[in-house]
Amino acid sequence: PPYDTKFSEYDQQSFGKKDQEDLAKLFGQLDCKALMIIKKTDFIHNIYQKQQKINSQVTIGEYKKNYSYNVRGRNQREVTHLLILNYQPEEARNDVQLSF
């Protein structure tokens, strides 16, 4: 979490689109290295692309993950995740295929 889906409201306090936007803004302003992995949605991708325009150190990659199980219809079989960094990766790892 935080996810950009309806099912992810685990308690009385929801984490809405405004909260996602605030998180993206704070992420882009951090003065330490940080990495976030989150399910790709158009909304999430767009708010981090905006941060990338403000802070050229923000890097967005993506990878696909196949889930072999499905809990209460929550997981799709194949999901694309975003790998968001607030720094430029020094070198790409050979065992992970990311598209930056």
- pLDDT score at 68: 73
At 65, the amino acid letter reads K
Burial of 3 (0-12, 13-18, 19+ CB in 10 A): middle
Average pLDDT on 36-56 reads: 94
CB atoms within 10 A of CB 84: 23
| pTM for the structure as a whole | 0.74
Each residue's pLDDT tens digit, 22-43 = 999 999 999 999 999 999 999 9
- pLDDT score at 77: 75
Question: DSSP assignment of 43-72, as one string?
Answer: HHHHHHHHHHHH-TT-EEEEEEEE-S--ST
Using the predicted structure, report yes or no on whether residue 85 has a pLDDT greater than 80.
Answer: yes
- Count H helices, E strands: the chain? 2, 3
Rg (alpha carbons) of the chain, rounded to whole number: 14
